[in-house]
Amino acid sequence: MALSRGLRCCQRVFSWIPVLIITSVVLWSYYAYVFELCLFTLTNTLEKVAYLLAFHICFVMFSWTYWKSIFTPPASPCKKFQLSYSDKQRYEMEERPDAQKQILVEIAKKLPIFTRAQSGAIRFCDRCQVLKPDRCHHCSVCETCVLKMDHHCPWVNNCVGFSNYKFFLLFLSYSMLYCVFIAATVFQYFLKFWVGDLPNGPAKFHVLFLMFVALMFFVSLMFLFGYHCWLVAKNRSTLEAFSAPVFVSGPDRNGFNVGIRRNLLQVFGENRRLWFIPVFTSEGNGHYFALKNRSSESHNPLLANEDMWEESDDGSEEGSLVEDHDPSVTIEMEEE
């Protein structure tokens, strides 16, 4: 037990290494740009002020989005998807597998769950003792089920999912802007140092490496950002892009694709003035998502208005939510 705790503690410490690497590079870039380039190399005062003002705007937005991506905790399923104390007791005391499955089927009837496991069974996490909402997956690193999980990113040491996916996209976009701005403004001085028009000194080393590092990060970020833009347009997560979500009718990669406009609104919200600000504006609560084929929702009029089954402030359930699921559907004990 002590060894296991020690290994887990070491794992948590080492998981911060990628974040520390990014932070170190960014802090160095700040010193190199502000001090070595703007203060020690530039001679035009107006150019200094313009460069410093624009740089700090990019730097603040980059730092803000990176902070939000790292420290926004991943959202987990609410209490309605967890086994209550009585249901858990009844489930654990029941020795027959078929009877255990039936207990979980009864619980699932009250929830808006449309996706299934590969076998066609309703998805259940044995570790968290929770029925998985649509697009929810268990993260073995965070040791919890994450709503609309996209992936676990080591560079932010956090799960990217419903609660911080917008922040992650903004982090990628402002990272690219940061790199482009540095490369564009450093380029002429990079050439001057390269051909010897400016005297050798500490600034030469910093300016040359600023150019190379900015271009290197920009190229890698460009592909990653482009991929996630494609995912947003298709309304898919990274996990769904590799393994199509399974519905009652079978696997469908476009099951949640409701059109580019609505797909964008699900991530960024209705208020377009807040799209580029790292504040949470995503639609819904992460437990329910509109489907491309809405005929499956019509079987249960309660699901036409997801607010009818949301939790109240005190965590109590509001109203009776009975869905006509097929009683023949089984529960699969799966761990992802």
What does the H/E/C string look like for 211-247? Answer: HHHHHHHHHHHHHHHHHHHHHHHHCCCHHHHHCCCEE
Structure-token pair, residue 219: 């190229």
Segments of the chain assigned E as strands: 122-125, 130-131, 137-139, 144-146, 151-153, 158-160, 246-247, 250-251, 331-334
User: Of residues 38, 128, 139, 153, which has the active-site annotation?
Assistant: 153
- Buried/exposed code over 16-26 (b: 16+ C-beta within 10 A; e: otherwise): eeebeebeeeb
Structure-token pair, residue 147: 């709503």
Distance, in Å, from the CA atom of 249 to the CA atom of 231, rounded to the nearest integer, reads: 23
Active site residue 128: no
Nearest to residue 286, comparing CAs of 145, 109, 172, 167? 145
Phi then psi dihedrals of residue 330, to 5 deg: -100, 170
Inter-residue contact 170 to 155 (CB < 8 Å): no
Distance, in Å, from the CA atom of 88 to the CA atom of 67, rounded to the nearest integer, reads: 38
Distance, in Å, from the CA atom of 50 to the CA atom of 67, rounded to the nearest integer, reads: 26
Distance, in Å, from the CA atom of 125 to the CA atom of 334, rounded to the nearest integer, reads: 6
Q: Name the residues annotated as catalytic.
A: 153
